[in-house]
Amino acid sequence: MGLLDKLKSSHVLSAALTILLGWVHVAARLGLVAIRVLARLTGVGVIAGGALLTNEERRRDAHHWLLLAGNRWHIVGAMVGALVLFTFAAGLLGIIGVRESGFVTNMFSTINAGLFSFVPIVIAINSLTISRLFGTPEGLRDRIADVEEFRENVETLSRVTVSPTDPAGFLALIVDTVQDRGHRLVEQVEDAPDDTRDDVADYVGRILEDMDHIETELAQGDASIFSVLLPMVNDEYSRDINRARELSFEHADDLSEDAEETLSDLQDLLVSADVARQYFKIVYLQQELSALSRYLAYSGISAFVMSIFIIMIYASGYPPIVDATPLLFLVSFSLGLAFLPFSILFAHTIRVATIVKRTSAPGAFTPQGERPGHLR
């Protein structure tokens, strides 16, 4: 029996060693594939970066995508994926290593210390989000009454009985009404002097171009509040409202009574569009900040647990593994997961800050830095 037990033990050990070596072989092959993929991505990135730097329109599009239009999770995935691939490839090439247990444990201990800073950030975001939810019943009633009065003003201008309750439909109603009044104003000044017709045509043309852009974006977007807010971010309603007042004074003698009324309607509609933009911005910020606090909580807990796990693996020195490749992959993946909360905070914060900056001044004033340089 002793000999039989020894034979069984040797077979088990041999099988375990075979499985372990097979795992190492697969991990090594995956590492080589990752290096090839990273090399190709680097080449494509260099080419794309060169084309981006030499083309102003592409730079603007990339800037717009990063700050506003781009899917936040695509940005997060690109940042985390690039870090994981770079760390893994650098480890395989011998640039960095995971054999120094002191270095690895210190690195993840520092990451854990940084993760604790997300606790006050999440608390502050939640406090900011729920601060507008508190109020007396009378105050809440007044807020609801103000919204209903605003809707009724738009309904009166649009000549509809009841306006849509969804933001996209409500904005589409304003856009349709502005387009109708713009075409009507051009027809009403056909018999006016040339300078009046030209000024009105230029004014209406600029407004209709903005409305066409919003209409196109609404047709292509989804039903989210951000898809409604995005095409309105860079519009200068204060400029168009002020220009309507100038036209009313400059061509008072040449505008008919109907044309004056239509121009006044256009001014009121543009004020309504500006009010809608500010209201949609508040709703979006509440939704975005509440979602951001959840994302930070989920990713922060995951990153903290994974960092603790890596520290425990290295607690007694370098782990007894036949090959360093699987351990390198684990450390690279853990580093990417630890970086996840920071990338989420970066991706969402830059969009929130951009929207707040570009819609910071409702009404009759437009600060110099509110709009991008190529739009000013």
The pLDDT tens digits for 40-81 are: 655 555 555 555 556 677 888 888 889 888 889 999 999 999
Confidence of residue 4 (pLDDT cuts 50, 70, 90): very low
Where does a domain end: 256, 287, 318? Answer: 287
Q: Is 375 exposed, middle or buried (0-12, 13-18, 19+ CB in 10 A)?
A: exposed
**Do 283 and 170 belong together in one domain?**
yes
Q: Is the pLDDT of residue 6 over 50?
A: no
The pTM score is 0.77
**Do 212 and 165 belong together in one domain?**
yes
Section 177-195 average pLDDT: 89
**Do 148 and 206 belong together in one domain?**
yes
Confidence of residue 367 (pLDDT cuts 50, 70, 90): low
Quote the CA–CA distance of 277 and 163 in Å, as a whole number: 16
**Do 101 and 244 belong together in one domain?**
no
Q: What is the CATH classification number for the domain harbouring 219?
A: 1.20.140
Quote the CA–CA distance of 362 and 232 in Å, as a whole number: 12
The radius of gyration of the chain's CA atoms, rounded to the nearest angstrom, is 30
**Do 194 and 265 belong together in one domain?**
yes
| Torsion sign (Cα): 112, 114, 115, 117 | positive
Mean pLDDT of the chain: 80
**Do 94 and 168 belong together in one domain?**
no
Written as six digits, the tokens of 104 are 């690895």
Where does a domain end: 243, 271, 287? Answer: 287
**Do 90 and 239 belong together in one domain?**
no
Q: Which domain holds residue 345?
A: 2-122+292-375
Quote the CA–CA distance of 275 and 151 in Å, as a whole number: 11
For the chain, what is the domain count?
Answer: 2
Q: Which amino acid is at 229?
A: L
Q: How far is CA 376 from the centre of its chain?
A: 23
**Do 157 and 268 belong together in one domain?**
yes
Quote the CA–CA distance of 206 and 211 in Å, as a whole number: 9
Are 327 and 319 contacting, i.e. CB atoms less than 8 angstroms apart?
A: yes
Confidence of residue 224 (pLDDT cuts 50, 70, 90): confident
**Do 168 and 278 belong together in one domain?**
yes
Section 14-34 average pLDDT: 51
**Do 170 and 240 belong together in one domain?**
yes
Where does a domain end: 287, 302, 337? Answer: 287
Section 205-233 average pLDDT: 87
Q: Is the pLDDT of residue 233 over 80?
A: yes
**Do 79 and 29 belong together in one domain?**
yes
Quote the CA–CA distance of 79 and 371 in Å, as a whole number: 27
**Do 95 and 208 belong together in one domain?**
no
Section 304-317 average pLDDT: 85
Torsion-angle region of 94 (φ positive above 0: left; ψ -120 to 50: alpha; else: beta): left
